[in-house]
Amino acid sequence: MSNHTETLAQTAVRCYLTTLLNVTDCLAQTCPEVGMTFKRRWARAPQRIGFDSTPEALEGSRQEFERDLRAYAGYAGQYFRPAVPLAESIAENGVSVANALHAKLQAHAVLLETLAESLNTIADLEADPALRAALEHRPAGLLNCARQVEREMVPLVEELRGVVGQCEELVQRSREVLLVAVETGFLNSEGFEREFERKSRETAVNCLVQLRIDATEAKGQPCSDALFAELMNAMAPAVFEQFRSSESIGLWDRQVSVIFAGTQGQAEGRKTDIERRLAGIYKLGDSRLNVAVAMSVV
């Protein structure tokens, strides 16, 4: 084996192990309850593979790591997936439920107090001593129940309101960090801005590519927002094929924006080809859309 080939092999193994450790570290940070066991399991990989860097050992490691990644995805999905819809449901419905319960408790307390006052009045007017004596004990019990509702039940409802408020804040924060449209993989405006800031800190950003998507139906009218969303689901693979994996791509206001990794001249040199590859007739169910793409470089 030549020195160049040997150096290349060593570099490839080192890159693989570094990537493996970085991935497991991210798994543990994302969900410690699930990911920590995978991180600890693979922390010994550099020592193990370092002593046995044969192609067979590397391939076995790759297969095992792939299985662990898929297992982590399954476990973490079961951990996270039910929680978010539940929190959203609590946030949407919890306030009205808590408010209704609070109002009913207060109404019951008022009703008990009213009944107590009525019984007091009846007892004062009652001529029969035995009946009056029996009635005189009832108002105190009713008033005690009313006070108990106000003292014990109402604070519990207020505590429930606080929990619902925390769910509302959690859902709002979760929506703020939702950076990607799951259906297409495009970044939203917030996600694109964060990626731009991150890449500007880490490296030089030379230019942005913008693709204006104009989609019209058979009679020339612009397509609806719902149909445009379907169009972008269909176009997404072709859009991603036009750019490097390291380039961040976002979509909003019917415009695709790309943090281009090359120079402005390189981007402008690809303008005609990208427009030609993405434009055309797209069939979506019973609809046919005529799509025109206009590319500009900022």
pLDDT in tens, 15-65: 999 999 999 999 999 889 889 989 998 998 888 887 778 888 889 999 999
Residue 190's pLDDT is 87
Domain assignment present for residue 183? The answer is no
User: Within 13 Å and on the Cβ side, how many CA atoms surround 101?
Assistant: 16
Residue 177 has pLDDT above 70, yes or no: no
Per-residue pLDDT, 84: 73
- 53 and 89 belong to one structural domain: no
Residues 204 and 253 in one domain: yes
Same domain, 210 and 288: yes
**Gap between the Cα atoms of 94 and 189, Å rounded:** 30
- Quick one: how far is CA 281 from the chain centroid? 33
Name the DSSP letter for residue 222: B
Looking at the domain assignment, is residue 170 inside a domain?
yes
Residue-wise pLDDT tens digits, 54-105: 888 889 999 999 999 999 999 888 887 777 777 777 777 777 777 787 787 7
Among 238, 225, 260, 262, which residue's Cα sits nearest to residue 185?
238
Assess if residue 67 is contained within a domain: yes
Token duo for residue 138: 């009832």
Residues 203 and 273 in one domain: yes
Domain boundary among 51, 80, 109: 80
Is 182 a member of any domain? no
Is the domain of 113 the same as that of 194?
A: no
Q: Residue 21 is part of which domain span?
A: 3-80
184 within some domain: no
Phi-psi region of 220 (alpha: psi -120 to 50; beta: other; left: phi over 0): left
Confidence of residue 137 (pLDDT cuts 50, 70, 90): low
- Structural domain contains residue 47: yes
CA angle 210-260-236, nearest 5°?
60
Asked which of 61, 80, 99 is the last residue of a domain, the reply is: 80
Q: Is the dihedral of CA 26, 256, 284, 272 positive or negative?
A: negative
Q: Which of the listed residues 17, 45, 80 is the one where a domain comes to its end?
A: 80
Let me know whether 72 and 99 are in one domain.
Answer: no
pLDDT at 127 over 70: no
- In percent, how much of the chain has pLDDT > 70? 91
181 within a domain of the structure (yes/no): no
Domain tally for the chain? 3
